[in-house]
């Protein structure tokens, strides 16, 4: 082997070992490969993990057939055979094709792409009108097939590792949730049990004011308990997509005004400023969307106590944007993308009661309206929750 070939192989190797399975990486590899290995079209197929069907992940027309479609239908059949046999295959054009019909004079070379010992797909090259693949070319192409396998294998490992990480985090969240929820259930139950036992004591006569005070506590704690149970059930229904939404024409300024009025009635000292542009009606579930806004209010009251709240409603292009701004302690950058996950609570959030379900429920409701919700925050200066809803969100 001459030094030129060696440095060529080294170049291929370097690209394959540094890349991932993105289109861009495969592209780089194929471009480098073509310096010594001539072909007109190439296509890479991988088996879909669930359906087992071959899916095209990369196709390119580079050579004489550049004007011909780089669609991958030409190689699909052949790729299927390579996968089935699990080995390098060559196919010459059918003898009955006229020598002038170059585009049908397809010389195919197919190489299996493996993950460990399993064949996961195939890379197929075509030369229109030849020349036939010589042994030397086949050796280079085989090596390229191995390198590409390596590239995909590494990407699959990285994906698996990510899945494991996600699973681990989800399990940790579930564990935290069980301990939170048992605490959350026990606290109101303890109050209810304690105060009703006191009221029923045969040796004590409570005056009317004390009776009322105890009953009020029982009443409030029962509400807290049912809200908690409702939240847990609702998040389960939302996750299994069995929560029905009633879509109808809806004016969001009206919904926001109603919710704000209700909150102001309950929290007389709360400073809420609204700037609600008149926006077109959307198709939405008013009860569910009101629930989202109430949740944001409840969170602001819990996590940004004493802060004023600004609510903006604007139309931006064909979307409606709602900004819900508090000036509380804010949220650390690393927690921002996680707060919408089921059961997630910011670590150290032990003194404030909660289940980590509120924002998850909000996100599910907004997504059911084909919208987006996210948070932005400058720690120490406050948090802004943003909701984007398409004006034409009819289903």
List of residues contacting ligand ADP (CB under 6 A)? 299-300, 303-304, 326, 328, 331, 339, 344-346, 349, 354-360, 383
In whole angstroms, the minimum distance from the beta carbon of 204 to ligand ADP comes to: 37
Contacts of 385 (CB under 8 A, 6+ apart): 296, 323, 324, 325, 373, 374, 375
Nearest CA among 306, 305, 304, 324 for reference residue 314: 324
Q: Which is nearer to ligand ADP, 149 or 299 (CB)?
A: 299
CB of 339 to ligand ADP, least distance (A): 4
Q: How far is the CB of 286 from ligand ADP (least distance, A)?
A: 21
| In the complex, least distance from residue 338 CB atom to ligand ADP, rounded to whole angstroms | 8
Least separation in angstroms between residue 224's CB and ligand ADP is 12
Q: Closer to ligand ADP at the Cβ: 75 or 328?
A: 328
Give the integer Cα–Cα distance in Å for 169 and 163: 10
- Measured distance CA(125)–CA(72) in Å, rounded: 11
Cβ closest to ligand ADP, residue 54 vs residue 304: 304
Which residue's CB is nearer to ligand ADP, number 149 or number 295?
295
Query: Closest approach of Cβ 357 to ligand ADP, in Å?
Result: 6
Measured from the CB of residue 308, what is the shortest distance to ligand ADP in angstroms?
12
Distant-in-sequence, close-in-space partners of 49: CB < 8 Å, separation ≥ 6: none
Please, which residue, 19 or 235, has the CB nearer to ligand ADP?
Answer: 235
Query: Is the Cβ of residue 78 or residue 344 nearer to ligand ADP in the bound state?
Result: 344
Tokens of 151: 């590239």
Q: Which is nearer to ligand ADP, 76 or 341 (CB)?
A: 341
Cβ 360 to ligand ADP shortest distance, Å:
6
Structure tokens that stand for 280 in this block: 């077109």
Terminal-residue alpha carbon distance, the chain: 64
Nearer to ligand ADP (CB atom), residue 8 or residue 360: 360
Q: How far is the CB of 304 from ligand ADP (least distance, A)?
A: 5
Q: How far is the CB of 166 from ligand ADP (least distance, A)?
A: 18
Between 293 and 303, whose beta carbon lies closer to ligand ADP?
A: 303
Instruction: List all residues 6 or more positions away from 95 whose beta carbon is below 8 Å from its beta carbon.
Output: none
CB closer to ligand ADP out of 126 and 331: 331
Query: What phi-psi label fits residue 380: left (phi over 0), alpha (psi between -120 and 50 degrees) or beta?
Result: left
């Amino acid at each position: 082997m001459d030094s030129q070939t060696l440095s060529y192989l080294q170049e291929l190797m370097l690209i394959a070992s540094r890349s991932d399975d993105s289109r861009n990486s495969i592209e780089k590899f194929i471009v480098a490969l073509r310096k010594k290995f001539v072909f007109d079209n190439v296509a890479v197929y991988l088996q879909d993990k669930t359906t087992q069907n071959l899916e095209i992940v990369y196709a390119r027309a580079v050579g004489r057939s550049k004007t011909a479609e780089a669609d991958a239908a030409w190689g699909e059949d052949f790729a299927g055979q390579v996968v089935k046999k699990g080995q390098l295959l060559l196919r010459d054009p059918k003898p009955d094709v006229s020598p002038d019909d170059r585009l049908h004079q397809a010389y195919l070379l197919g190489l299996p792409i493996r993950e460990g010992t399993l064949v996961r797909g195939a890379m197929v090259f075509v030369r229109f009108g030849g020349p036939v693949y010589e042994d030397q070319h086949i050796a280079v192409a085989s090596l390229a097939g191995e390198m590409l396998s390596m590239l995909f294998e590494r990407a699959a490992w990285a994906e698996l590792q990510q899945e494991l990480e996600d699973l681990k985090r989800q399990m940790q969240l579930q564990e935290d949730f069980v301990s939170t929820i048992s605490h959350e259930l026990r606290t109101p139950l303890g109050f209810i049990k304690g105060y009703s036992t006191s009221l029923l004591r045969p040796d004590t006569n409570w005056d009317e004011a004390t009776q009322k005070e105890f009953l009020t506590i029982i009443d409030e704690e029962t509400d807290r308990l049912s809200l908690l149970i409702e939240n847990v059930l609702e998040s389960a229904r939302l996750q299994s997509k069995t929560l029905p939404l009633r879509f109808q024409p809806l004016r969001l300024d009206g919904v926001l005004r109603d919710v704000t009025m209700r909150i102001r009635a309950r929290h007389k000292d709360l400073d809420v400023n609204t700037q609600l542009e008149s926006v077109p009606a959307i198709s939405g579930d008013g009860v569910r969307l009101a629930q989202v806004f109430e949740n944001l209010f409840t969170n602001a009251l819990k996590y940004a106590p004493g802060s004023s709240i600004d609510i903006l409603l604007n139309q931006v292009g064909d979307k409606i944007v709602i900004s819900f701004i508090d000036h509380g302690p804010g949220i650390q950058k690393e927690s921002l993308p996680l707060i919408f996950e089921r059961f997630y609570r910011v670590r150290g959030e032990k003194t404030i009661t909660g289940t980590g379900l509120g924002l998850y429920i909000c996100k599910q409701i907004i997504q059911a309206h084909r919208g987006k919700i996210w948070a932005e925050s400058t720690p120490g200066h406050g948090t802004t929750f943003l909701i984007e809803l398409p004006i034409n969100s009819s289903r």
